[in-house]
């Protein structure tokens, strides 16, 4: 599906079914230097189970035009503008990593547009180490290499996955390599700089799912304390033996958790 937001073309996958704004809307928001393809499995499933799906390419990512936006707040405002462009008043938001912060901020500041949020691989704050930021700023492949090591469980690093014929680290590496120069740095910097006042989380009343990987080294479970203490209506699901790149490492478990929350 092609849309126009703030004068730039936007691509969103609809999960293989025509988008109908009259049906309950479900928006998938990818993480740093990723694109809509990370959501192919759940997007297709929910499109066939009563939801109108938009798996987004954020500005400057994938097939969407424009430049990467500089902050989580700007991305959250952009997601709400996209809902308006699609003719959707309210939607459930599912975000991974940077996308989880975008979903969280949208729920805090645009509550009328958000009916529930699922936060995958989330943390607050989502601090990024200075050497990693420096490598990304220099477009040094070491930034991707580091994210691949820290972002996968031991099984994922060895190639283990429930999907036959897939090597999760190799696929994630290729996906990040497709991002344009400067995209990864812009995204990591937005995550690192996001210092929303914690009091803002008090405004979130919608059901909130935290889906976490037991072996996630990028956004460890302990880093969700601020979220669970401030948002009263939360549910936490921890995937045993799973790293940060959970949609690739344990796609069935992710889908089961999302089904239990969204359906």
Per-residue pLDDT reduced to its tens digit, 32-83: 999 999 999 999 999 999 999 999 999 999 999 999 999 999 999 999 999 9
Nearest to 32 by CA among 246, 219, 179: 179
Note the pLDDT of residue 21. 94
Alpha helices (H) along the chain: 40-47, 72-86, 98-109, 130-137, 142-151, 154-157, 168-177, 183-193, 225-230, 246-249, 251-262
Q: How many domains does the chain have?
A: 1
Note the pLDDT of residue 32. 98
* Residue showing tokens 């490492």: 249
Sequence-distant (6+) residues with CB within 8 A of 238 are 212, 213, 214, 221
Domain interval for residue 196: 2-262
- Alpha carbon 236 to its chain centroid, in Å, reads 17
Is 199 buried (19+), middle (13-18) or exposed (0-12) by CB count in 10 A? exposed
Vertex 59: Cα angle to 194 and 204 (nearest 5): 40
Percentage of the chain beyond pLDDT 90 is 89
Instruction: Specify the CATH number for the domain of residue 20.
Output: 3.40.50.1820
Percentage of the chain beyond pLDDT 70 is 97
Per-residue tokens: 241: 């033996």
Strand partners, 120: 96, 211
For residue 125, say if its preceding peptide bond is cis, omega within 30 degrees of 0. Answer: yes
State the pTM of this model.
0.96
Nearest to 94 by CA among 263, 235, 258: 258
């Amino acid at each position: 599906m092609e849309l126009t937001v703030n004068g730039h073309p936007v691509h969103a996958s609809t999960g293989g079914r025509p988008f109908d704004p009259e049906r309950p809307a479900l928006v998938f928001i990818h993480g740093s230097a990723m694109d809509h393809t990370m959501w192919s499995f759940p997007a297709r499933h929910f499109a066939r189970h009563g939801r109108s799906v938009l798996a987004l390419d954020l500005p400057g990512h994938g097939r969407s035009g424009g430049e990467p936006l500089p902050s989580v707040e700007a991305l959250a405002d952009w997601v709400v503008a996209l809902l308006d462009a699609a003719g959707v008043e309210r939607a459930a938001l599912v975000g991974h990593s940077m996308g989880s912060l975008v979903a969280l901020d949208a729920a805090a500041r645009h509550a009328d547009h958000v009916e529930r949020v699922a936060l995958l691989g989330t943390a607050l704050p989502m601090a990024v180490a200075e050497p990693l930021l420096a490598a990304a700023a220099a477009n040094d492949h070491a930034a991707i290499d580091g994210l691949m090591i820290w972002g996968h469980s031991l099984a994922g690093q060895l190639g283990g996955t429930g999907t036959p014929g897939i090597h999760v680290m190799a696929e994630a590496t290729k996906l990040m390599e497709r991002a344009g120069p400067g995209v990864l740095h812009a995204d990591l910097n937005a995550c690192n700089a996001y210092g929303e006042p914690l009091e803002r989380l008090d405004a979130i009343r919608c059901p909130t799912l935290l889906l976490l990987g037991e072996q996630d080294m990028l956004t460890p479970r302990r880093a969700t304390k601020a979220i669970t203490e401030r948002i009263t209506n939360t549910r936490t699901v921890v995937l045993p033996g799973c790293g940060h790149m959970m949609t690739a490492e344990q796609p069935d478990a992710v889908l089961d958790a999302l089904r239990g929350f969204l359906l």
